[in-house]
Amino acid sequence: MIWTPGTARAARRIATAAAVGSGGVTALGAAVYGLLMAEAMLARKIVGRPHGMVGPAADGIYGDWRGQGGDAPAEPISLVMLGDSTSVGLGMTEPSTTPAVLLANGLAAAAERPVRLNVFGRSGAVSADLTLQVDRALKVHPDIAVIFVGANDVTSQAKPAEAVRHLQKAVRRFREAGAQVVVGTCPDLGTIRPIAQPLRWVTQRWSRQLAAAQTVAVIEEGGRTVAFADVLGPEFASYPGEMFGPDRYHPSARGYQQCAYVVLPSVCAALGFWPPAEPERGEGSQSIYLAAAIAAEESGTEVTATRVAGRATGPQGRWATILRRRPGAMPRSA
């Protein structure tokens, strides 16, 4: 895709639509809105709650590296996981198959230090629920926080501006406490098969706009984002029985592994345990709005703040860098 000045302006409008509260359901006519709500109710009935509302208990210490000389255990890195059902691995029965544990083991392998994991996410959570989750997470003094949130904001028709503000506040609180933050942005709900057309098309539009607005907000507060976009989309089309669970909404073990796979490099990099990455050719420093719009279209794309000529901002706002880190094989669970 060729990005022109006109495209950049369009990207800014898309990325900021949710942040300023425009668009969304308010832009729909009453008849169309009624149709979409009826389809949403049918999709929820099809999905149901075959997994209940609680994921497997995953808190604990992962990795068994010792300090220099092997005399005493190395100080664990504190990792906290927040957000919705994807953060708790809803549908899994073994903690080792949840994204949080996969990330903890991956980080422990990269850092050669144990990782103390605490999961504060909750199935069904929206961005407004992050306030309580952050309250609890800050009590364990985390080194890094990983947040998966946004899907329920779309399906519950939460106001995008409010959802983004809650996420922004959560990132700000962690950064003020000295913790790094990595946010997996809202996934593309247009890949969920129980959602019929035209609702699938509309939710795709809303989820990508929310993901772009999330990126803008997170970068402004000093965090970094990784786009989920349609992370399960192509694989779902080819392997529908493998990437999604029985409800065809939540990921399977393989699907959760894919989520962790795309986020792990950014988690390690945030703490300095991953080799530096270079932007793709032609995609160096960008306006945050353009970077957010690009990232919302491609899963696994990291966006982080940068400087150009010593300056954090330019004519079109804060500078950002798009990175496509190349993850290696996921380490086995300890």
Structure tokens at 58: 């995953």
Both tokens of residue 181?
A: 């933050």
C-alpha 100/C-alpha 264 separation (Å) is: 10
59 annotated active-site: no
Task: Single out the catalytic residue among 143, 153, 188, 250.
Answer: 250
| R_g of the chain computed on alpha carbons | 19
Asked if 85 is an active-site residue, the reply is: yes
Active site residue 141: no
CA separation (Å) from 150 to 33, 47, 129, 153? Answer: 20, 18, 11, 5
Alpha helices per DSSP H over the chain:
5-17, 30-47, 85-88, 99-111, 130-138, 151-155, 160-176, 199-220, 233-238, 240-243, 253-270, 288-295
Active-site entry in 85, 127, 207, 252? 85
Q: Which two tokens stand for residue 239?
A: 């392997």
What are the C-alpha distances in Å from 290 to residues 3, 283, 299, 324?
9, 10, 16, 16
**253: Cα separation from own chain's centroid:** 17
Q: Which of 22, 78, 247, 333 is catalytic?
A: 247
Sign of the alpha-carbon torsion through 307, 310, 313, 314 = negative
Catalytic residues: 85, 247, 250
